[in-house]
Amino acid sequence: MQQQGQLQVLHVFDHSVPLHSGYAFRSLAILQQQQRLNINTRQLTSTKHYLAGPAQEQVAGLTFQRTKPGWLAKLPVLNQLDVIRQLEQQLTKMVQQQKPDIIHAHSPSLNALAAARVARRFNIPLVYEMRASWEDAAVSHGSCKEGDLRYRIGQYLEKKALKSADYVVTICQGLADQIEQWGVPRDRISVVANAVDISAFNPVVSKDAELEQSLKLQGKTVLGFLGSFYRYEGLHILLDAFAKLKPQHPDLRLLLVGGGLQEAALKAQAKDLNISDYIIFTGRVDHHTISRYYSLVDMFIYPRQAIRLTEMVTPLKPLEAMAQQGLVVASDIGGHRELIRHNDTGILFEPDNPAQLAKVLDELLNNRADWPIIKQNGRNFVEQERTWQHTVAAILPVYQQVLSERR
């Protein structure tokens, strides 16, 4: 029930729960935390979410308004224009009916461009949340090349979206620096960092015995990675390092939980390195059972490559591992340095260097005395700085500022 004087915020998302993605989970966490801050939220998703079904969907106690694609959606290039057109129409209806105080559009830039038109028409402040460098992600996936036409168009639209907003929010310092370089004043940028629901991640005190037995991991030291198998995640580097380590550590095993574009290549690499018998590929696992797999891992390895995308953007998975008091070993890149302090909350190693990763892991395996304090420090960092309650609170001053300026 809406309360008198309660702040009304209309959120515009690419997609949402019940779809499972880091994007959807961040969106849900923001909405739930804003409701605890006594902010009344409304939710709209773009045509990219659309699955034939009701125009409204109730998920996790929230109502999501869906946007149906138009006739241009089936045409290359013009399908991007369709996203903006259909979203603008749907937004206009919602603004007329609900009269929000603020529109908060979230990546990608198409959402902000549609929202900017509506915000100007109705004189409503627009906050744009840039969550990723989408054109750099496309480069890493191989769907475009840095500097080609698609890349330049993506970057042009991103810059236009940023400059159309009254205020910009982003997920990490690396992206904030990029946004400032693109001409948005620093005092118009705030970081609402990725975080975790600390209550959903308890410190691991014992391994899941049933799962451990089914995967034949009893009595083994387990290195683990949980996430998507993209090239930039550097799992090929981890496999090379594991092959160097294995002779000195016969009880070592590697648990790879997830799937993606690189899965077949990684299995072929493991075969070539003659380490297939020591690596467990689980495939993708249900989100509700993921904690069972986390419990089996003695050391979490995040060997991301050093590329433009990973230097700028922070991942979520190391935070989840740290929240469960896991020992995290990660490549020394910008995105990881925002999460991990070397030899304090985790261990950093030189990126793109399998020999150095093998050396770091060998030292850790031969000296476990420091593990407990590093693991505890990681958990403390998440508890104190990276809970959704802590990070989402930073959005309230932003809302207050754009409202006071508009008035």
Tens-digit pLDDT profile for the chain (407 aa)?
455 569 999 999 999 999 988 899 999 999 999 999 999 999 999 999 977 778 999 999 999 999 999 998 888 878 889 999 999 999 999 999 999 999 999 999 999 999 999 999 999 999 999 998 877 777 777 778 888 888 899 899 999 999 999 999 999 999 999 999 999 999 999 999 999 999 989 999 999 999 999 999 999 999 999 999 999 999 999 999 999 999 999 999 999 999 999 999 999 999 999 999 999 999 999 888 999 999 999 999 999 999 999 999 999 999 999 999 999 999 999 999 999 999 999 999 999 999 999 999 999 999 999 999 999 999 999 999 999 999 999 999 999 999 999 87
Residue 4: what pLDDT? Answer: 54
Q: Is there a shared CATH topology between the 7-195+387-406 domain and the 198-385 domain?
A: yes
Tokens of 241: 């390092």
Cα–Cα distance for residue pair 219/190, rounded to 1 Å: 47
For the chain, what are the domain ranges? 7-195+387-406, 198-385
For 141, other C-beta atoms within 10 Å of its C-beta total 14
pLDDT score, position 7: 97
Q: Which two tokens stand for residue 127?
A: 């906050």
pLDDT of residue 74: 87
Tokens 């249900």 locate to 286
Q: Please name the CATH architecture into which domain 198-385 falls.
A: 3-Layer(aba) Sandwich (3.40)
pLDDT, residue 3, reads: 58
Euclidean distance between CA atoms 10 and 26, whole angstroms:
16
Burial class (CB in 10 A: 0-12, 13-18, 19+), 400: exposed
> CATH topology for 7-195+387-406?
Rossmann fold (3.40.50)
Give the whole-angstrom CA distance, residue 373 versus residue 351: 24
